[in-house]
Amino acid sequence: MLSVYADDRPSPIVGALGGLIVLLLLGALALVFTRSGDTAAPPASKAGPGKIVYASDRSGNYDIYSMNADGSGRAKLTDNPALDSYPSWSPDGSKIAFESERDGNLEIYVMNADGTKVVRLTNNPAADEFARWSPDGSKITFSSYRDHNFEIYVMNADGSNQTRLTKDPASDLSSSWSADGSKIVFQSLRGENADIWVMNADGSKPVRLTDDPYDDQLPVWSPDGSKIAFQSTRATRGKRFDVWVMNADGSGQRQVTRTKADAYSPSWSPDGKSLALQSNRSGGTKILVVNLDGSGLASVTSGSGFGDYVPDWQRVASVLPPTTTTTSTTTTTRPTATTRTTVATGPATTATTRRATTPTTRRPA
């Protein structure tokens, strides 16, 4: 995206008429290249610390990439003809978990932060996806269809001791750990549509946090444990996704993004003040960052003919806020309405939002 800064003003030697013409041209360019709610990518000093990993098909195939938070320093980490997607940083930033079809179906893998030493963690004929690290780095949660229904599982970081946490006839997907490691938030189809639930880390005492007639998906806990970001179609009555944030007990639900295109798959900045996300607002899906109050929405990847998806922002210990212990609240009565029938967004195998339905592979255009 074109950036027009204050120091681009004409030289004082330009005459008054010439200066006016230059300013008018700059204004016209800004209108052409800037959409409503868009800003230029922030300077590196304002983009925040930590790297962002994401999936992209910019090379003609879905692979994992990393970049600085301002979009600079892009590096391709995987190079495999199969789909690689949904990367997740380990808490210390030394490793990345991801899902891949390189051995025939979706499995969970882990590699070093530079893409070396890829190790397969799961080995099952059914799809295993949505890997997320525990805050101490000792465990990884993931979703699996191995029991003919998507459920949340947990395993040690080396792939051992794979254990089922949820046991419900509805699909449970896309988990995220609280900062203190005591709870796990996830999306579930236990009602008419996808909602956000939370449970203890051992799978006990599941509690619904959202109860909306439209889909709420892909929850992710803030670094300090006080908030949860998620994507929802509620603001547009099922037409498109926006990013929302709520308190960890489900209260204070508020909309963050208000674009005219899908905005989804949020990931917290290390200081909890910003979110990375993906959006197709400019015709192709790209990675953006936004302040928690919805201001400063800016693209950090650009280009045409390909998409960038499912960002995960690296945690940086030096800027992590203090951990907040949270508790859940009781649930409310569900409205009667249904909405779209797909969950999750990005270049990954996804499940439909009806009970006990076989997942289908969907790659975005």
3-state secondary structure of 24: helix
Give the rounded distance of the alpha carbon of 57 from its chain centre: 17
The Cα 61–Cα 80 span in angstroms is 8
pLDDT band at 205 (very low <50, low <70, confident <90, very high): very high
Average pLDDT over residues 42-71: 83
State pLDDT tens for residues 250-265: 999 999 999 889 999 9
HSE-up (13 A, CA, CB side) for residue 57: 18
Contacts by residues 205-208 (CB-CB < 8 Å, ≥ 24 positions apart): 206/166, 207/328, 207/329, 207/330, 207/331, 208/250, 208/331
Let me know the angle formed at the C-alpha of 320 by 218 and 52, rounded to the nearest 5 degrees. Answer: 50
Question: Which of 18-22, 299-303, 325-329 is most confident?
Answer: 299-303
The Cα 32–Cα 40 span in angstroms is 13
State pLDDT tens for residues 180-203: 999 999 999 998 899 999 999 999
Look at residue 19 and tell me whether its pLDDT is greater than 50. no
Longest CA–CA span in the chain (Å) reads 75
CATH superfamily of 38-362: TolB, C-terminal domain (2.120.10.30)
State pLDDT tens for residues 270-286: 999 999 999 998 778 99
Mean pLDDT of the chain: 80
State pLDDT tens for residues 209-247: 999 899 999 999 999 999 999 999 999 988 999 999 999
DSSP label at residue 82: S
pLDDT band at 76 (very low <50, low <70, confident <90, very high): very high
Least Cα distance to 265 among 241, 234, 299 occurs for 241
The Cα 58–Cα 240 span in angstroms is 24
State pLDDT tens for residues 299-313: 999 988 899 999 999
pLDDT of residue 18: 38
